[in-house]
Amino acid sequence: MAKKKAAILGSSGMIGQRFAHMLNDHPYFDVVAYCASDRSEGKKLADVWRLSDLDTIPGLSEEVIQATATSALIKEGVEVAFSGLPSDVAGPIENDLAEAGIAVFSNAASHRMEPDTPILIPEINAEHLASVEVQKRRRKKGGFIVTNANCSVTGLALGLKPLVDKFGFTEIDVATYQALSGAGYPGVSSLDITGNVLPWIKNEEEKMGLEGKKILGAWKNGRFVDSPVNIMASCARVHVRDGHLEAVFIRDRAIPDAKTIAKELRSFRAKPQKLKLPSAPEQPIIVMDEPNRPQPLLDSYAGTPDRARGMATVIGRIRVTEGCLRFYLLSHNTIRGGAGGSVLNAELAFKEGVI
Q: Determine which residue in the list 143, 162, 217, 296 makes contact with its own copies, applying CB under 8 A.
A: 296
Q: Scanning residues 44 to 103, which ones bind its own copies (CB under 8 A)?
A: 46, 50, 52-53, 56
305/302 Cα distance (integer angstroms): 7
The answer to whether 151 is a known catalytic residue is: yes
Backbone angles phi, psi at 95, to 5 degrees: -65, -45
Q: Determine which residue in the list 198, 258, 275, 354 makes contact with its own copies, applying CB under 8 A.
A: 198
Cis? peptide before 294, omega within 30° of 0: yes
Q: How far is the CB of 281 from its own copies (least distance, A)?
A: 13
Backbone angles phi, psi at 323, to 5 degrees: 75, 10
**Residue 199 within binding range of its own copies, rule CB under 8 A:** yes
Cβ within 8 Å of residue 305, ≥6 positions away:
286
**Residue 140 within binding range of its own copies, rule CB under 8 A:** no
Decide whether 247 or 354 has the Cβ nearer to its own copies: 247
Contact yes or no for 20/8 (Cβ under 8 A): yes
280/272 Cα distance (integer angstroms): 6
Decide whether 29 or 169 has the Cβ nearer to its own copies: 169
**Residue 217 within binding range of its own copies, rule CB under 8 A:** no
Q: How far is the CB of 159 from its own copies (least distance, A)?
A: 14
Helix (H), strand (E) at residue 104: strand 103-106
Side chain identity at residue 135, one-letter code: Q
Stretch that binds its own copies, among 92-100, 127-135, 226-234, 256-264 (CB under 8 A): 226-234
**Residue 258 within binding range of its own copies, rule CB under 8 A:** no
Decide whether 92 or 305 has the Cβ nearer to its own copies: 305
The answer to whether 111 is a known catalytic residue is: no
Decide whether 116 or 242 has the Cβ nearer to its own copies: 242
Q: CA angle at residue 282 from 278 to 283, to 5 degrees?
A: 140
**Residue 340 within binding range of its own copies, rule CB under 8 A:** no
Q: Determine which residue in the list 32, 72, 193, 354 makes contact with its own copies, applying CB under 8 A.
A: 193
Backbone angles phi, psi at 353, to 5 degrees: 80, 15
Backbone angles phi, psi at 266, to 5 degrees: -65, -35
Burial class (CB in 10 A: 0-12, 13-18, 19+), 13: buried
343/345 Cα distance (integer angstroms): 5
284/32 Cα distance (integer angstroms): 30
Helix (H), strand (E) at residue 15: helix 14-22
Q: How far is the CB of 169 from its own copies (least distance, A)?
A: 13
Which residue is catalytic, options 111, 128, 244, 332?
244
**Residue 335 within binding range of its own copies, rule CB under 8 A:** no
Q: How far is the CB of 240 from its own copies (least distance, A)?
A: 6
Q: Determine which residue in the list 74, 175, 258, 354 makes contact with its own copies, applying CB under 8 A.
A: 175
Count of residues touching its own copies (by CB under 8 A): 58
**How many residues does the structure list for the chain?**
355
Active site residues: 151, 244
Residues engaged in binding its own copies (CB under 8 A): 46, 50, 52-53, 56, 171, 173, 175, 177, 180-181, 185-200, 230, 232, 234, 236, 238-241, 245, 247, 249, 251, 291-298, 302, 304-305, 307, 316-317, 321-322, 324, 326, 328
